[in-house]
Structure 1
Amino acid sequence: MTETPAPITQNRPLEGVLWMLAAGLTFVAVNGTVRWLGTDLPAAQSAFLRFAFGVVILLPTLAGVLRAGVPRGAWPLVAGRGAIHTVAVICWFYAMARLPVAEVTAIGFLNPVCVTLGAVVFFGEKLAFRRIVAVLVALLGALIVLRPGLREIEPGHLAQLLAAICFGGSYLFAKRLSQMVGAATVVALMSLSVTLGLLPFALAAWVPVTPTQLAALAVVAGAATVGHYCMTRAFIAAPMAVTQPVTFLQLIWASLLGVLAFAEPVDLYVLLGGGVMIAAISYITWRETVLRGRAVTPPPDAPRV
């Protein structure tokens, strides 16, 4: 059966938030596994193996997609997303193996900011004053965590900065693709295009891989595939400006992971910044739920589907 795109109603904020929460939890599991792997494998090789496993997982979906065909206008978007996502994952694997989990997560908060602003510029989504203030407050929380100017900036920080920007661009491509094809197709085509993009970089730096490393990267692939699917469903359910701020919650989960799994010290600035972010996200999510609920209430004579 040919997959059809889900309708882009963008009027279900609670559903979008729940999908994004599920995505965030799976991505934190991915973070912890990559952090555990460390620096024994080159970043490009680790990223390639993760995406190669993802392609294997998605082979049934990919076969169906290729048989059914993809709209001609979608292929440039698939290629563009594949290219920018390739850069993003190499930088992310490099940073994740070298920085504390909470730091990588905090720098990644530039991602939803870029996505929210990009959605306004490219998709015409509205950014009301209260939402602007909430995003700025959340960003202030991230700055409290990072404390720029008060410590040395390492290559890992720069790599994660570039990764955050590139991931933001990738998510914008995903948003446009979700209007043309179904969520499973978006994820499958991303896995295939990024695997092909990573292949030459991985071969240039290849080192022997142990069975344990392969197993860990297979886990990463499974969790990340689920996370990307949940994220795509969130994009379909609600505007990005509603769903993206929820990703700030990952800082709290990442901080707990760092303390419990890797004995990373508790940082009071992380707790303070995380509290500021949670407050901003809670307000903006509640406000959007109220406003959207009013907007989508159908008139008495509306047809029932």
Structure 2
Amino acid sequence: MKGVLLAFASFAAYSWSDASVKMIEGALTAYEMGFFGAVFMLAGFPFLLKPDDRWTDAFRSSNRPLWILRFFSSAIGTIGSVAAFTYLSMAEAFALIFLLPSFVTIMSVLFLKEAVGIKRWSAVIIGFIGVLVVLRPGFRELSIGHVGAVFAGLSGAISIIVYRAMGPSEKNISLYGAGIIGVLVVLGILMIPDFRWPTLPEWAMLAGYGLLAALATILLMYAAYYAPAALVGPTQYSQMLWAILFGYLIFGDTVDLPMLLGIVLIIGSGLLTLARERARDVPLPTSVATDPQAAVVTKPDTQSDT
């Protein structure tokens, strides 16, 4: 119960973090918002270090090519996530990002050669049907936010696949470091041409974006220590409730019946995928948190297995 409650608190913090970046309303580029968000996220770095970890471990890896893959995919995912929450309602952004479990299933087959049964493929199909219901292509205009949300989901899926490929020997701090360093380097370069110094209110929103994400990451790590990933994973769908609440109270968004139906299908797809992962006793994390860093910090601590 303690782990599950911590997980709910973590995803509440992630939702507030996403709301903070949305409140900037695109006044800064996605590159700049992502970069400064990562700078503030560094505040959580010391809390993620285990007794035998060193700061330099963030740059070390037992598999450099996969570390580099996460380095770049995290940067792309951050850009996509910021764009999604800037141009879409929070509910719609989350709905598309929640395709992550379906992407994990597909990548598991393509890259890890995992055997996937009819139930998991059915979950994938249900998820993509849900996306079609939400997007209604041909009946409404699609934006860069929709593309960004899909890339954010892909980035999270790549993080999980990278961890599965690297195995439990890789340190959490290395995987976390690859993600946050990638954001700082790649987005730091991309933001230079259109850089504008943030105003004081924008600084407050950027601080909320980064610091709340750091807090959420720490809470999620402790949640995974006290509860198995099979119980932690489903709690991330509580973000949809926060998204609908924020959308109504702060941003003036509404959720129509087709979007609600699509959201139900996508969430159902994700829960079915998580259930099948649990039934197969997959020993690796199945977290589908939207933050690019969160997909790896749910790696079980060996101490929690005793």
| TM-score by shorter chain over 0.5 | yes
The structure 2 residue matched to 1:196, chosen from 178, 182, 185, is 185
Which range moved further: 257-266 or 131-140? 131-140
Among candidates 30, 34, 48, match of residue 43 of structure 1: 30
Q: 1:70 to 1:197 in 2, by over 3 A?
A: closer
Residues 237 and 267 in structure 2, CA contact (< 8 A), matched pair in contact too: yes
Conserved? CA contact 1:82–1:193, under 8 Å? yes
TM-score, normalising length: structure 1? 0.74
Any residues of structure 2 matched to 1:139-158 within 5 Å, and which? Answer: 139-158=128-147
* CA root-mean-square deviation: 3.8
8 A Cα contact 2:99 2:270, kept in partner = no
User: Quick one: structure 1 residues 107 and 252, their matched pair in 2 at CA, closer, same or farther if it must change by over 3 Å?
Assistant: same
- Cα deviation, 1:230-251, whole Å, max 9, x if unaligned, reads 3798699558xx9877655544
Letter in 1 for 2:26: T
Q: Greater CA deviation, 29-38 or 278-287?
A: 278-287
Correspondent of 1:116 among 94, 101, 105: 105
Q: Name 1:25's counterpart in structure 2.
A: 12
Give the TM-score, by structure 2 length. Answer: 0.74
Aligned residue number for residue 100 of structure 1: 89
2:206 is the counterpart of 1:217: yes
Q: In structure 2, the residue corresponding to 1:218 is in which secondary structure? A: helix
> For the structure 1 residues 67 and 248, does the alpha-carbon distance in structure 2 shift closer, same or farther, using more than 3 Å as the test?
closer
Q: Which residue does 1:9 correspond to in 2?
A: none
Residues 81 and 173 of structure 1 are in contact (CA less than 8 Å); yes or no, is this contact kept in structure 2? yes
Q: Is the 8 A contact 2:11 2:216 kept in 1?
A: yes
Unaligned runs of 5+ in 2: 283-304
Give 2:296's aligned residue: none
> How much has 1:265 moved relative to structure 2?
2.0
Contact in 2 for aligned 1:34/1:220 (Cα 8 Å): yes
Instruction: Specify the SS of the correspondent of 2:192.
Output: helix
Farther off after superposition, 60-69 or 210-219: 60-69
1:37 aligns to what SS in structure 2?
A: coil
Alignment of 1:10-89 (within 5 A): 24-58=11-45, 64-67=53-56, 72-89=61-78
Gaps of at least 5 residues in structure 1 are 1-13, 294-303
CA drift of 1:283 comes to 5.1
Q: What is the identity, as a one-letter code, of the residue corresponding to 2:29?
A: P
User: Aligned pair count?
Assistant: 280
Q: How many percent identity over aligned positions?
A: 25
Take 1:157 and 1:42, find their aligned partners in 2: how far apart are those partners?
Answer: 17
2:57 and 2:277 map into 1 onto residues whose CA distance is: 37
